[in-house]
Structure 1
Amino acid sequence: MGTIVRQERRSRAPFPLLPIGLSAALLAFGLVCSLKWGQAPVSWRTLYEALTYQGTGKAHLYIQTLRLPRALTACIVGTMLALSGLLAQLATKNPLASPHIFGINAGASLAVVIGLVVSDRFSATASTLFAFVGAAAGALLIGSLARGGSRQHVRLALAGITIHFLLSSLTEGIVILNQHSTDSVLFWLVGSVSQAEWLEVRTILPFFAGSLLVFAFMLPSFRLLLVEDELAAGLGQRVAVVRAVSVLLVVVMAGSAVAICGPIGFVCLIVPHIARMLVGGSLYVLAPLTALLGGVMLVYADFASRFIAFPFESPVGIVTSALGAPFFVYLARRKGGAGR
């Protein structure tokens, strides 16, 4: 464990608490903006009365039943996607890994679309269960294709990209062939939190709280993923068990997020890298900052999506993709240069 500690100390930022404090303030400010401004701006007094449940007017109900659950859903989903991306990168030792690129999001999306086609009454709970099954199936399929041989991280990346496009193509085919029952899912497939209500918050909240508890409990063990497997095994650590738990957490967090809001792209990829740039590689600081930045990114992306085609709503996935695609190209070029 001494090797891990020395490695974290070398990569630690001089003032790690400053980015965490600023991120928390940005998140709080973004939530306030999300509640106050939109298609129908409200006064500060109305906002305060609505949040304290002191008013019963239309504006108060609008904030309480629409804007508040939407803002909370964006914060929760952004946090879960960012942490799942961090764990995916740690488990695979690949800086470009994410649930989105490695087929987990595509598997969850395919399962949810199949459920919508098969059943006319598809509840949020059923959607979450289907998403878990699809995410786990996608992860198992990719793992089986990449197992064995040398350069496993390269095999994993190739298998993940291949399965992602395969499952995405199947999803699009089902949507096209069943347009009468999948019209409402087109907006969801791009990634959106605009339809989130208190039912979605209550559905995802247990998975969110449970994932955070397991993540916090396993955080000391996740530090083993920072070093080579041979070194960790030589120290008597159960690397395979730790990696299995990390993959399971990725499936739970990414699967439940996709079930509620659709496959929102690039949050799980770019947020962990931004956090590393700010505080280094110490997991005790990197993990909470990644969680906060994930919430920040999705809350502000959702806020911006309201004004792209104002007064109409736009999927939040458009904003995250517009921000994430250039950053992904930058990361790919930088990591490729480092590899050479």
Structure 2
Amino acid sequence: MIYTLARGGGLRDDQIRVQGIEDLGSEVFEIVCPIRGIEVQDPIRIGSVTIASESAVELTSIPDPEGFASEFRGFQAYAVAYVTDRLMLSAEKVGIQEIDLCLSWLTVRSRYSVPPLPDGTLHSWDRASMFVSPSRGRFVYLRGLSTHRRWLRIPKQEVNLGNLELAQKHAGLTKPSLFRAAPMNIRQAIVSCARAAKGIDDLDRVLALWEAIEFYVGDTSVPRLFSKSEMKAIRKAMPKLDNDEKSSRLGILLGDLNSPPLIVKFRRRVAIDGAPVSQSDVDLFVKLRKIRNDAVHGRSLSEPESSEVSQAVAVLSRILVFRMHALGQQNE
């Protein structure tokens, strides 16, 4: 519990020293999440997750410290995953990822409307009933099958969400004014940044963060790196190739010499808007950009730190506030 509280407070593994935690042995944990939008009679296996009704899941021994158990019970369906790990927090994270993947697959699969499946099997599809989007309830129940360690809790930041008091303590959030004629790319940047702020999965938050940055940058231009005369000299020095495909490819690459990386355009846009951003902020964005690129290109992935993602979201939110202020000033 001390380890979980420390991680929830933003500390990294290398910043935490809990005596004896390294001596914990691995065991199988059962992760159970209530599911909205699914009805099921008999248990059904989808990937590594089982979808089952309340009667098919053992829920009688759930701890009830805050009266949460009554809210946890009573759903029509539950997703169950099994994960082997030493720590409850690590097992919970992997289990939730597996459950979210299962629910996402069901949503994607429900949109497949071509009569034959890839293996040639014919299947029925009813438009009215197939537009579904199952989702997790806010609680997760975890128990170790060997040690019987267990908890029922609301994971991550969901537990700390409060209400906006726009007429009182949060009245300042209405300034600067949301410029109604803001360009579409800025509108989408705000939507994507909010997804990064409210998301639960840290990798998904990183992807949303960089989607927001791409929208924010838009068509921002930077000074040319190569002059026209330099480009002409480079093209003149190009070797003559006997393959049209190679020549075409080389020409495309040469045409991109004056296309700056996204991070360069991002820094240019920030400078124009006058947002206060430090070099350490930029270094953090670069680090998260590498994580994003590794993920989308299928390379070995390092897990993003939740605290670093939250810090980057805070910096981008600051930048978007300055951008909105600049748009309002231009309009005036």
The two structures have a TM-score, normalised by structure 2, of 0.23
Structure number with larger C-alpha Rg: 2
The two structures have a TM-score, normalised by structure 1, of 0.23
Please identify which structure carries the higher strand content.
Answer: 2
Q: Which has the higher contact order (CA 8 A, sep 6+)?
A: 1
